[in-house]
């Protein structure tokens, strides 16, 4: 059974307890080629993830080249992309999986070819792959519990999910339903898959508002600032909203009159952390456990302390769809300028 190590254990992962006795390739001056597979374009979170991958590859000094497959596709398309990366003989693959079962065969093939596989953001079912991810179940649980408390423990909630079949969505659904079970008087009055697409999500909430059905809160799977925009533009009542730590939503929590909400951290910089983990493994420093989870925080504007925190993290220099958590301690070493530049080795 795959075990899980948490953020508080990261110093151990970085230290001697996690190291194998294999000499590091970096010490020998080896330069690696890392393949990247991502299946969502045009989504700010994914774009930040890719930029973090590029920035960390550059900052590491160990990566000669990135081979990036970055397009809108499904599991079948990702399977093809992964097999192309295997044929290109990359040293490691950093993958954000469209569907764990749908790409398992390619991950098995990568392992047989001696290629290190690191899944970021979402888990995979291939046991030889390593995983470094934000704790998606806890992400949903923290936000949903806070939301239901703000609703007074009763009323209708709009449940705006991510992409059907994605393991992050499935994990978040577990966390959401865990919180829902603690509040029997809260009912889901509308459930929809947004596909993590802003235009689609905004139209979905506008369509629901137009029905006139009552609701007392909105939980979003990281598509948040456009939901607030829809509430404002439609003249609807300003109900509590939960989203992610995206720059646009964090700004709204600091500035939109009447908005009560919470941002749960879900850094796209996990992509850069995936590069760091892949390089550690290539250098002979295999972690003691197969999975590392980064624990989320909740930032809310319903208390003075929460408002102060939100003021301290707001960053108008970032794209509205980018998480403000542009780095992860102990896992990313690039500068803000490097991730914003979004340039990898040789670019």
* pLDDT tens string 111-143: 999 999 999 999 999 999 999 999 999 999 999
Candidates 151, 245, 302; CA nearest to 159 is: 151
- CA 191, 195, 198, 199 dihedral sign is negative
At 328 the pLDDT is 96
Question: From the centroid of its chain, how far is CA 240?
Answer: 22
103 neighbors 80 (Cβ within 8 angstroms): no
Reported pTM: 0.86
- CA dist 68 → 93, 118, 281 (Å): 10, 14, 20
Contact predicate 225/248, CB 8 Å: yes
Q: Check residue 29 and give its pLDDT.
A: 60
Low-confidence spans in the chain with pLDDT less than 70: 1-29
CATH 3.40.50.2300 fits 4-134+267-294+325-341, yes or no: yes
Using N-to-C axis directions, what is the helix angle for 136-150 and 167-181, rounded to 10°?
A: 40
pLDDT of residue 30: 73
Question: Cα(333)–Cα(75) distance, rounded to whole angstroms?
Answer: 31
Q: Look at residue 21 and give its three-state secondary structure.
A: coil
- Domain 136-264: give its CATH superfamily: Response regulator (3.40.50.2300)
| Cα 30 from chain centroid (whole Å) | 30
- Report the C-alpha gap between 280 and 14 in whole angstroms: 9
Rounded Cα distance, 168 and 161, in Å: 10
* DSSP assigned state of 17: G
Specify whether the CB–CB gap between 229 and 201 falls below 8 A. Answer: no
Residue 338: exposure state from Cβ atoms within 10 A (0-12, 13-18, ≥19): buried
Residue whose C-alpha is closest to residue 90's, from 48, 37, 127, 46: 37
Using CA atoms, how far residue 9 sits from 6, 138, 291, 292, in Å, is 5, 17, 12, 9
How many other CB atoms sit within 10 Å of the CB of residue 15? Answer: 10
- Portions of the chain given CATH number 3.40.50.2300: 4-134+267-294+325-341, 136-264
**176-189 pLDDT, tens digit each:** 999 999 999 999 99
Q: How far apart are CA 162 and CA 222, in angstroms?
A: 8
């Amino acid at each position: 059974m795959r075990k899980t190590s948490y953020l508080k254990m990261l110093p151990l992962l970085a230290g001697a307890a996690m190291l194998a006795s294999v000499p590091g390739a970096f010490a020998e001056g080896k330069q690696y080629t890392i393949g990247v597979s991502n299946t969502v374009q045009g989504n700010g979170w994914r774009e930040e993830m890719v930029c973090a991958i590029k920035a960390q590859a550059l900052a590491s000094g160990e990566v000669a080249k990135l081979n990036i497959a970055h397009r809108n596709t499904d599991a079948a398309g990702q399977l093809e992309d992964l097999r192309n990366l295997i044929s290109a003989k990359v040293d490691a693959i950093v993958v954000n999986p469209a569907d764990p079962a749908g790409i398992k065969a390619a991950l098995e093939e990568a392992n047989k070819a001696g290629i290190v596989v690191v899944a970021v953001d979402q888990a995979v079912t291939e046991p030889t792959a390593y995983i470094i991810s934000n704790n998606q179940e806890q992400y949903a649980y923290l936000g949903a519990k806070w939301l239901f408390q703000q609703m007074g423990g009763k009323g209708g909630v709009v449940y705006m999910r991510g992409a059907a079949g994605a393991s992050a969505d499935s994990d978040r659904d577990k966390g959401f339903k865990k919180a829902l079970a603690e509040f029997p008087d809260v009912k889901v009055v509308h459930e929809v898959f947004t596909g993590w697409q802003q235009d689609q999500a905004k139209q979905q909430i506008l369509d629901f508002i137009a029905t006139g059905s009552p609701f007392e809160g909105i939980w979003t799977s990281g598509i948040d600032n456009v939901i607030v925009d829809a509430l404002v533009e439609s003249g609807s009542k300003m109900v509590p909203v939960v989203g992610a730590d995206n720059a646009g939503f964090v700004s709204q929590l600091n500035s939109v009159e009447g908005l009560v909400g919470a941002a749960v951290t879900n850094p796209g910089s996990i992509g850069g952390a995936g590069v760091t983990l892949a390089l550690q493994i290539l250098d002979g420093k295999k972690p003691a456990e197969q999975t590392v989870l980064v624990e989320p925080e909740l930032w809310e504007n319903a208390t003075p302390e929460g408002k102060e925190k939100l003021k301290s993290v707001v960053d108008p220099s970032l794209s509205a769809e980018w998480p403000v958590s542009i780095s992860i301690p102990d896992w990313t070493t690039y500068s803000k300028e490097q991730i914003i530049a979004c340039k990898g080795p040789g670019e």
